[in-house]
Structure formats: structure tokens, C-alpha cells
């Protein structure tokens, strides 16, 4: 049986992201001041890597007009704007109300397509069964312990149509991630993490995929500075 995430821990994570709206969004804004830029001291190319991750997700997702796409952990909806511009209907959910409020205020009016903003989380997705053609879950699963991944995949499978696809990332362990994942409450912005991180080796993630109702269609490994492992991106198809 898969573990159910603790409600108190989810609330703590929500507050963590509420606190980090300005620094988090600096990853997509090259005009942000050096004081606001996230990880500016340790990872000067963090913004470039984040934008590239979004581009890679879009390549695998390939949004088309008429598609209904759920963006779990959408943050301020930067990915949603790109999806909406492709004339696909975008539904973004996030546990941080401040992230949603920020994104809705700066993105929705400039978008050319349908966008919906929902305050919720991946533990209990607030949509009915078999609604979406695709689901994205970028930078989310590593805020949950490894034993919870199976439950998250089951919940994603529930809202996905037969034959639908899932694009998600799993963070790999490196020394900076190790520090941030264990000492996040005491590390100041903009270096801190919104909550505890649980990096997973891709082989561990594959075990949960194999026991789910998904099949793995593609795996992409991405590295960062000094050739350290950064994250793995998966494309899954619902059986």
C-alpha cells in the first residue's frame, strides 16, 4: 500500500513556496536584480537550465489545439503560457496560492488560449477521472518521499485519458542538493529550498513505473556544472 502524504508537511511546503515567489520566478526573468536571482552565487546558469528544462518538456509534450493538459505543480504558470499559445487548454494546479496569484496577474491577460488556475496538490488532484490528454509534473515529485511516488502515479493515471501521456522530472542527488535537502529551514533565500528534497536515482523511479499502469516511452538524462547529474526527464504513456 502506498503511503499518503502528511497534511501538515503539505501545508509547510505550501508556505515555503508562498515565501519564494519572487526568487523562484527570477529563473525566468533575465532582468531580475542579482539580489533576487535564485542560486545566483552557486549556480550562475540556473536560469538557463530551467528554461531549457521547460523547452525539453514542450518538445516531449508536443501540445496541439484541442488538447486538455494538466500542469501539476504549475507555480506561476510559465509552462502554461507556452502550452496555451499552442491553442491547447491548460489547467494549472499548485499548492501555493501566492504562486497562482502572481502568475494569473502577469500571464493570463497576455495569453492567447484557455487557462485555468486551481489551488490544489498532486496527492488528491481536484478533477474527475479520465479528463486530460496529457499531464506535466515538472520539479514536483522530489518534494515527496520515495515511497509516495507510486501513489502520485496512481492519482495522475486516474485523471488521464487512455493512451494519454505524462512528462515529469526526477531530481538526481549532488552535494548542493544534499545540503539543501537536509538544512533547508536554516538556509536563507535565495539559496534555500521551499521544503525538504528527496532526490531519486532514475532506476528507483523506473521500478515504480513498472508496477503502475504506465509504460516508459522515453528517458532523458540531464547534467549540470562539472558534469554532475542534475535530473532525469520521463515520458510515460497510459496503458
- Render pLDDT for 33-59 as a digit per residue (tens, 0 to 9): 444 455 444 455 667 777 889 999 999
| pLDDT one-digit tens code per residue, 145-186 | 889 999 999 999 999 999 999 999 999 887 777 787 778 778
Percent of the chain at pLDDT above 90? Answer: 51
- Identify the pLDDT of residue 118: 95
Q: What's the pTM?
A: 0.87
Judge whether 89 and 110 are in contact, CB under 8 Å: no
- Identify the pLDDT of residue 15: 84
The backbone torsions φ and ψ at residue 204, rounded to the nearest 5 degrees and listed phi first, read -70, -40
| pLDDT one-digit tens code per residue, 182-234 | 787 787 766 677 888 899 999 999 999 999 999 999 999 998 777 778 899 99
- Identify the pLDDT of residue 185: 76
- Run of H or E residues at 147: none
> How far, in Å, CA of 105 to CA of 72, rounded?
19
Amino acid at each position: 500500500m502506498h503511503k499518503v502524504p502528511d497534511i501538515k508537511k503539505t501545508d509547510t511546503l505550501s508556505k515555503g513556496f508562498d515565501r519564494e515567489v519572487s526568487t523562484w520566478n527570477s529563473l525566468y526573468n533575465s532582468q531580475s536584480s542579482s539580489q533576487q536571482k535564485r542560486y545566483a552565487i552557486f549556480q550562475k546558469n540556473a536560469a538557463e537550465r530551467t528554461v531549457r528544462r521547460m523547452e525539453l518538456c514542450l518538445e516531449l509534450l508536443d501540445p496541439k489545439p484541442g488538447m486538455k493538459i494538466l500542469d501539476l505543480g504549475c507555480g506561476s504558470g510559465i509552462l502554461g503560457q507556452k502550452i496555451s499559445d499552442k491553442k491547447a487548454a491548460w489547467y494549472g494546479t499548485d499548492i501555493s496560492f501566492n504562486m497562482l496569484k502572481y502568475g494569473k496577474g502577469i500571464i493570463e491577460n497576455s495569453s492567447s488560449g484557455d487557462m485555468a488556475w486551481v489551488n490544489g496538490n498532486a496527492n488528491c488532484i481536484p478533477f474527475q477521472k479520465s479528463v486530460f490528454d496529457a499531464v506535466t509534473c515538472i520539479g514536483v515529485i522530489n518534494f515527496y518521499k520515495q515511497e509516495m511516488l507510486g501513489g502520485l502515479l496512481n492519482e495522475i493515471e486516474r485523471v488521464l485519458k487512455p493512451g494519454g501521456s505524462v512528462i515529469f522530472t526526477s531530481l538526481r542527488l549532488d552535494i548542493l542538493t544534499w545540503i539543501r535537502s537536509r538544512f533547508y529551514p536554516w538556509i536563507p533565500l535565495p539559496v534555500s529550498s521551499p521544503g525538504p528534497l528527496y532526490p531519486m536515482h532514475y532506476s528507483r523511479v523506473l521500478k515504480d513505473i513498472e508496477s503502475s499502469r504506465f509504460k516508459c516511452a522515453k528517458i532523458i538524462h540531464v547534467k549540470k556544472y562539472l558534469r554532475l547529474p542534475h535530473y532525469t526527464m520521463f515520458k510515460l504513456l497510459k496503458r
